[in-house]
Amino acid sequence: MDLNYEFYIDATPEEVWHTLVSPEGTRKSFFGCVINSTFKVGDPYEYVGPGNEGDETVQVYGTILFYEPHKVLSYTEHPGPSYQVKHKELESRVTFTLEPVGGCTKLTLENDQWTENHPAYENSKKHWWMMLSNIKTVTETGKSLDLGW
């Protein structure tokens, strides 16, 4: 049930990291969302952006598990309250890992530890490809992909 993806991005780990965590990077690569977090291990985070409840909809939320700038970001993930009634019971783990490879960066995403029968699993399986492609494009060009969303 684990979802694993690898992308090679023509940028430094610092540039990819900026796309992953900065408001300007996430707005472009995560469809208008920003991450609200201290990024301290054990602290909460939320991806907030346009959705069911307007421009400040909590898309997903959870707890920061590991944070090493330019290398690893890992967190638990729950669907936002407006998307699933039992959102607190639904969980998975997301881990982004960055490694320099030659003059580029290897971005690895692992989405695992899914709650049994998690209703977002199939959706995540399809949409991670789009989001990771968008992270690559934003980092390399500064522009978002037009995915019709």
> Which domains, and CATH codes, for the chain?
3-141 (3.30.530.20)
The tens digit of pLDDT for each residue in 40-84 reads 999 999 999 998 888 999 999 999 999 999 999 999 999 999 888
pLDDT of residue 98: 98
pLDDT at 5: 97
In this prediction the pTM is 0.94
**Is the Cβ–Cβ distance between 80 and 58 less than 8 Å?**
yes
Select from 68, 76, 65 the least CA-distant residue to 41.
65
